[in-house]
Amino acid sequence: MSTFVIYELMDKLLLKTDRLLKLRNYSSKTRESYLSYINQYLDFVKEGNLNHNQKTVEDFLLIKQNNKLSPQTINLALNAIKFFYSEVLLNAEKINLRFAKRNKKLPIILSRTEINRIIKATDNPKYRLMISLGYGCGLRISEVINLKVSDLDIDNLVIHIKNAKNKKDRITVLPEKLQNDLRNLIAGKSAKDYLFSSNRGGKLTTAALQKVFRKSLKKAKITKPATFHSLRHSFATHLLENGVDIRYVQKLLGHKNIRTTQIYAQVINPQLRNIKSPLE
């Protein structure tokens, strides 16, 4: 098989994969990742021999492991290849591979004082409000960016998060402290308008907000390796510290499995906090 024919076949398979991912309503981010890993796998196979071969898949993933890629990345690549064989090539033979063990890292938690310092260090009122919402409502950075005026119920202090991770909707709390700022922000806007827009009138990017957060973090002289997502981690941890039932925290965060939420219980372990070091 000539190189031209191989690449033509690869292009057709990638187009078919993209079409199927769209039909299954996969997010644009997941589609992009799957297509990237499948393209890498097709290039790795080279000769166009796509017959199911367990060893070939293992060798492909081992290269990624040797390149020090995270278990999460390797699992994503494995999921992409499984989708390719089962849904695109309609190969009924299962890929009998276990997922790589995930790193059990504890989340980066910011204290209430540190969060207040970050908010005060953010000069731009629009970004200051976005950071406040990220923490006060437990939002992912993409959820803040995608908020629309119609998602807010300011009087009842709730936000309706629509089409979030895994295509799920959820309701979360809205801090009373932000009521007036939000009312001023939405004045003159229609229900379909984005809550936060760029200077050119379009939707803000997550990169822009993350950049501002890093700048405020530095200005507040906080050395923790925190990201915007640390605000969401801190929201959950502080609610648990306040005595909120973990099942309610799970619903506010939109976690499918309570085990995901339980990691925050490890952070606030009261028994550990009551132990004093023997160093005198």
Whichever domain contains 246, its CATH number is 1.10.443.10
Q: Is 37 in the same domain as 156?
A: no
Domain count of the fold of the chain: 2
Q: Is 257 in the same domain as 164?
A: yes
- Looking up residue 83, the CATH number of its domain turns out to be 1.10.150.130
Please list the pLDDT of the chain residue by residue as tens digits (280 residues).
Answer: 444 445 577 788 889 999 999 998 888 888 999 999 999 998 888 755 666 678 888 889 999 888 888 888 888 999 999 999 888 888 877 787 776 666 677 889 999 999 999 999 999 999 999 999 999 999 999 999 999 999 999 999 999 998 877 678 899 999 999 999 999 999 989 999 999 988 777 788 899 999 999 999 999 999 999 999 999 999 999 999 888 999 999 999 998 888 888 888 878 766 666 777 678 6
135 vs 122: CA distance, rounded Å = 14
The boundaries of the domain holding residue 144 are 112-272
Last residue of a domain, one of 88, 104, 128: 88
SS3 138: coil
Identify the pLDDT of residue 101: 67
Q: Is 119 in the same domain as 217?
A: yes
Active site residues: 140, 165, 229, 232, 255, 264
pTM tops 0.85: no
Angle, CA of 125, 171 and 248, to the nearest 5°: 110
Q: Is 76 in the same domain as 130?
A: no
Residue 169 domain-assigned (yes or no): yes
Q: How far is CA 194 from CA 183, 186, 203, 272, in A?
A: 14, 9, 7, 44
Q: Is 143 in the same domain as 246?
A: yes
